[in-house]
Amino acid sequence: MNGRLKEICARVRPCGVFADIGCDHGYVSQYVAAHSLAEKVYFTDVSAECLAKAEKLLAPFVAEGKAEGALGNGMRALPVRPDEALIAGMGGEEIVNILSASPFAADRLILQPMKNTDKVRRFLAENGWKTEEDVVFSSGGKFYDILTAERGEESLTEDELLFGKSNLALRPAAFTERLRAELFGIERYLSKAKSESARAALEDRKRKIEEILR
């Protein structure tokens, strides 16, 4: 299992029903079932081909009634409401689409967007979710965001929506390293900006990152 998947697995809490939405290979579901972290694991995917991979991997748990696969779009594929739902390895916009269709479809969420994490944060803050953790980690030379959230209220500042509440409060090394890498990229692209507005947006982002790193 790669480092990204290990970070996801480390955030699963023991629960009754666990759902892995967009499971693809099914490695996280296999981990949850093998470690008895849930009484029942549902693993779903919108692609029959992807679901078939997970069904093969999880066959022993399916045979025991501890896991079940379901084909379909987002949470709607689930036959029951899960206590905990994982949506990982896809873009933030797709995660928001899935959650928008069933905004209260679980008690706890583990989300690992590959991009547009600010859109996920905005959705959670505007739809009755309270972030427990929202951090950057690095694995295999790449940076990833991971968030966990429970039902609740919270009001986030614009900076917290853009950069993540826990990142700003705890400053994990991966967070500052990613900001430094972004700053380096912005400085390279500034001279190539095609329009004044593109240049102004880069300058704004640069100022904000420098302020956070100070």
Ligand X SMILES: C[S@@+](CC[C@H](N)C(=O)[O-])C[C@H]1O[C@@H](n2cnc3c(N)ncnc32)[C@H](O)[C@@H]1O
Tell me which residues touch ligand X (CB under 6 A).
21-24, 44-47, 50, 73-74, 88-90, 94, 98
What CA–CA distance (Å, rounded) separates 84 from 81?
A: 9
Query: Minimum distance between the CB of residue 33 and ligand X, rounded to whole angstroms?
Result: 15
Q: How would you class 133 by CB atoms within 10 Å of its CB: exposed for 0-12, middle for 13-18, buried for 19 or more?
A: middle
The amino acid occupying position 161 is: L
Query: Minimum distance between the CB of residue 42 and ligand X, rounded to whole angstroms?
Result: 12
Output 24 or 83, the one with its CB closest to ligand X: 24
- Give alpha helix (H) positions in the chain: 3-9, 27-34, 48-57, 59-63, 92-101, 117-126, 158-163, 165-170, 173-190, 196-213
Give ∠ CA 5-152-9 in degrees, rounded to 5.
10
Output 103 or 171, the one with its CB closest to ligand X: 103
Output 23 or 125, the one with its CB closest to ligand X: 23
Query: Minimum distance between the CB of residue 20 and ligand X, rounded to whole angstroms?
Result: 7
Query: Minimum distance between the CB of residue 59 and ligand X, rounded to whole angstroms?
Result: 18
Output 99 or 174, the one with its CB closest to ligand X: 99
